Amino acid sequence: MEWPFQPCCRKVLIGFLVGRLLAVSLAIAGDDYARRSVAELIDDLTQIDSQAPGMDTLALYQRFIADDTPESFEMGILGAPPAKVPPQMRELVRRGPVALPELIRHLDDKRPTRFEVGNKPSQDNADFLFMFMAFSDEYDPRPPHWFREGELTEESKNPPPPGVRSFEGTYTVKVADVCYVLIGQIVNRRLLAVRYQPTGGLIVNSPIEVPVLAEKVRSGWGNVDAEGLKASLLEDIHATNQPKGMGRAQYTNRFVDPALARLRFYFPETYRSLKGDDLRKKTEFEKTRSPVGEEVVTVLSYRLLFRAENWWAQSTCGYSPASIRERGSR
């Protein structure tokens, strides 16, 4: 069969076809994770081999990884880009309250990932060498809390819990550590397994190395179902437990806007029905934080490429892929 298009447009059409195939491939890859069970997705956490949100050694970005709400830089080395989101992590956060109980059960999962942090022995000429590294017990509790100077002083008098200590060399991130991060993503709390500490430090909050972290999570969130999660997010939005000493703008950025992002994703009907002061907060939130979901980009790319392909072929050669398919089906 003779190729119906003239040489002038073949290269362009091939480019469009390649673009379409790429878009379809991305969609298929995303659907593959969407079809997996929570248990399978947790097993896939062992394949993580690089920085990820909540496990970033150079910078801290605030973001909700389920819907690609635009990230905001919080602290760290200026110029450090935000970490990419592994698809299995994204999908588990998208499952939300369905995945939460299973993630909590895996807070003692010692299986290693492929991601190491710290100073490797051969890092004499490395781009970055940490000046100090430590396991810690940093935990963002369910009732939002803001330390005052006196509280910090009193807490410093108490001995640290077992496991809080410095370390040398490298640490291999465990599945439990990733679950710790994912729980924080779902419940709107900053649970960071790995983070940068100014200046030149590395902090690891591991439920394996510091078991009290797992105990705190189970105590705060172990019995929370979908309705409990929704109630907690609404409390964050209402500023029911806004800590003294934390200003309104700071609380909004830290708790209200992230809670609205999660309410919109997990409980869209409740999000749409917000009224009064909550509606005002929702309106302000939507002005600055509009998600560009991975699936939306894929679908739009596919449609735009399909239309462009048909338009170019029709206007240049008098044929379109759609008309050829229609003729071939007769």
pLDDT attached to residue 75: 74
Question: Contact 174/111 with Cβ under 8 angstroms?
Answer: yes
Scored b (16 or more CB within 10 A) or e, 158-190 reads: eeeeebbeeeeeebebbbbbbbbbbbbbbbbbb
Q: What percent of the chain has pLDDT over 90?
A: 51
Query: CA 224, CA 214: separation in Å to the nearest integer?
Result: 15
82, pLDDT greater than 60: yes
Question: Contact 227/100 with Cβ under 8 angstroms?
Answer: no
Q: How confident is the model at residue 60 (pLDDT cuts 50, 70, 90)?
A: confident
pLDDT attached to residue 330: 40
pLDDT in tens, 221-245: 999 999 999 999 999 999 876 666 6
Regarding predicted confidence, which is higher, 119 or 243? 119
Sign of the torsion angle spanned by Cα atoms 63, 216, 214, 224: negative
CA distances from 227 to 96, 142, 230, 250 (A): 12, 15, 5, 27
Quote the tokens at residue 149: 């100077």
End-to-end Cα spacing for the chain: 16
pLDDT in tens, 277-300: 999 999 999 987 665 544 444 334
pLDDT attached to residue 6: 54
Regarding predicted confidence, which is higher, 326 or 221? 221
pLDDT attached to residue 161: 61
Regarding predicted confidence, which is higher, 177 or 302? 177
pLDDT attached to residue 313: 45
Query: If you average pLDDT over residues 53-66, what whole number do you get?
Result: 88
Query: CA 93, CA 91: separation in Å to the nearest integer?
Result: 5
Query: CA 96, CA 108: separation in Å to the nearest integer?
Result: 20
Q: How confident is the model at residue 40 (pLDDT cuts 50, 70, 90)?
A: very high
User: Mean pLDDT across the chain, nearest whole number?
Assistant: 78
> Which range (43-52, 275-284, 311-320) has the least confidence?
311-320
Regarding predicted confidence, which is higher, 208 or 79? 208
DSSP one-letter code for 254: I
pLDDT attached to residue 62: 83
Q: What percent of the chain has pLDDT over 70?
A: 68
Query: CA 206, CA 192: separation in Å to the nearest integer?
Result: 9
The strand ranges marked E within 198-322 are: 201-204
- Give the residue from 190, 250, 211, 186 showing the smallest Cα distance to 55: 190
pLDDT attached to residue 26: 47
Query: If you average pLDDT over residues 43-52, what whole number do you get?
Result: 95
Q: How confident is the model at residue 76 (pLDDT cuts 50, 70, 90)?
A: confident
327, pLDDT greater than 70: no
pLDDT attached to residue 311: 46
Residue at token pair 């399909």:
306
66, pLDDT greater than 70: yes
Question: Residue 58, Cβ neighbours under 10 Å: how many?
Answer: 17
Question: Contact 140/184 with Cβ under 8 angstroms?
Answer: yes
- Give the residue from 265, 302, 291 showing the smallest Cα distance to 27: 302
Question: Residue 313, Cβ neighbours under 10 Å: how many?
Answer: 24
pLDDT attached to residue 17: 53
Quote the tokens at residue 173: 């991130």
The strand ranges marked E within the chain are: 59-62, 72-76, 112-118, 132-135, 165-166, 170-174, 194-197, 201-204
20, pLDDT greater than 60: no
Give Cβ neighbours of residue 72 (< 8 Å, ≥ 6 apart): 61, 62, 63, 253
